[in-house]
Structure 1
Amino acid sequence: MPSGHANAGYRRLFDRSGLTFGAGFPLTGTNRSTPDPEAEIELAKHAESVGFDGLWARDVPTYWPKFGDAGQTFDTWPWLSHVAAHTDEIALGTSSVVLPLRHPLHVAKSAATVDRLSDGRLVLGVASGDRDPEYPAFDVDPDSRGELFRESVEALRTVWREDYPELEDRWGRLEGDLDVVPNPTEETIPLLPTGNSRQSDEWIAEHGDGWLFYHLPESTLESYIRQWREATADKPFAIAIRVELADDPAAGPEPLHLGFRAGVEWYRDYFRRLEGYGLDHAIVGLQNDDRERAFETFAAEIIERV
Structure 2
Amino acid sequence: MYDSYTQAPASFSRVFTPGRLSVGLLTPLEAYPESPFPTLVEHQRMAQLTEQAGFASIWLRDVPFYDPNFGDAAQMLDPLVYAGYLAAVTSEITLGTAGIVLPLREPISVAKQAVSVDQLTQGRFLLGLSTGDRPVEYPAFNVDFDSRAELYREGIEYIRYMHETRFPRVQTTHYGKLLGNLDLHPKPVNQRLPIIAVGRSRQPIDWLARNVDAWIWSVDDDNAIASILADLKRAAGEALAPAYGYSTFFDLDPDPDAPYQRFYNVVRIGRKALTERLLQHQALGVSHVALNLKPSSRPAQAVIEEMGEYVLPALQQENL
Given the two structures, how large is their TM-score scaled by the length of structure 1? 0.93
In 2, the alpha carbon distance for the partners of 1:231 and 1:273 equals 24
- Any conservation in 2 of the 1:84–1:117 contact (CA below 8 Å)? yes
In the alignment, structure 1 segments of 5+ residues that lack a partner are none
- Please name the residue that 2:210 is paired with: 206
Q: Secondary structure at the match of 2:42?
A: helix
Distance 1:129 1:102 in 2: 11
Query: Matched residues in 2 for 1:221 and 1:39: separation?
Result: 36
Q: Does 1:41 align with 2:41?
A: no
State the partner residue of 1:290: 299
Higher relative contact order (CA 8 A, sep 6+): 2
User: Which residue of structure 1 aligns with residue 201 of structure 2?
Assistant: 197
| 2:123 and 2:189 in contact (8 A); partners too | yes
Q: Structure 2: state its 5+ residue gaps.
A: 316-320
Q: CA deviation at 1:16?
A: 6.6
Q: 1:187 is matched with which residue?
A: 191
The answer as to 2:225 corresponding to 1:221 is: yes
Aligned-residue CA RMSD (Å): 1.8
Distance in 1 of aligned mates of 2:126 and 2:184: 19
Match of 2:248 among 241, 254, 258: 241
Question: 111, 124, 128: which is aligned to 1:108?
Answer: 111
* Partners of 1:28 and 1:39 within 8 A in 2: no
CA distance in 2, matches of 1:298, 1:109: 35
Q: Which shows bigger deviation, 150-159 or 179-188?
A: 179-188
Distance 2:167 2:263 in 1: 49
- The one-letter amino acid paired with 1:9 is S
- Whether the aligned pair in 1 keeps the contact of 2:37 and 2:74 (CA below 8 Å) is no
List aligned pairs for 1:4-153, cutoff 5 A. 4-15=6-17, 17-30=19-32, 32-33=36-37, 35-36=39-40, 39-153=42-156
User: What is the alpha-carbon distance in structure 1 between the residues aligned to residue 183 and residue 123 of structure 2?
Assistant: 20
* Contact 1:5/1:11 (<8 A) preserved: no
Residues 132 and 21 (structure 1), Cα distance of their counterparts in 2 relative to 1, 3 Å cut: same
Map of 1:266 onto structure 2: 273
Q: Report percent identity of matched pairs.
A: 32
Q: Counterpart of 2:60 in structure 1: which amino acid?
A: A
What SS is found at the alignment partner of 1:297? helix
2:284 pairs, out of 277, 282, 285, with 277
SS at match of 1:4: helix
Number of residue pairs the alignment of both structures matches: 304
Q: Distance in 2 between matches of 1:150 and 1:268?
A: 36
How many Å apart are 1:301 and its aligned residue? 2.0
Q: What is the CA–CA distance in structure 2 between the aligned matches of 1:241 and 1:130, rounded to whole Å?
A: 15
> Match of 1:12, as an amino acid?
R
In structure 2, what is the Cα distance between the partners aligned to 1:69 and 1:259? 14
Between 1:186-195 and 1:85-94, the stretch displaced more is 186-195
Task: Kindly provide the CA deviation profile for residues 123-149 of structure 1, in whole angstroms up to 9, marking residues without a partner as x.
Answer: 111112221111111111111111101
Displacement after TM superposition at 1:291 (Å): 1.3
Provide the C-alpha distance between the structure 1 equivalents of 2:220 and 2:266, rounded to a whole number of angstroms.
9
* Whole-angstrom CA distance in 2 between matches of 1:34 and 1:253: 26
Deviation (angstroms), 1:288? 3.8
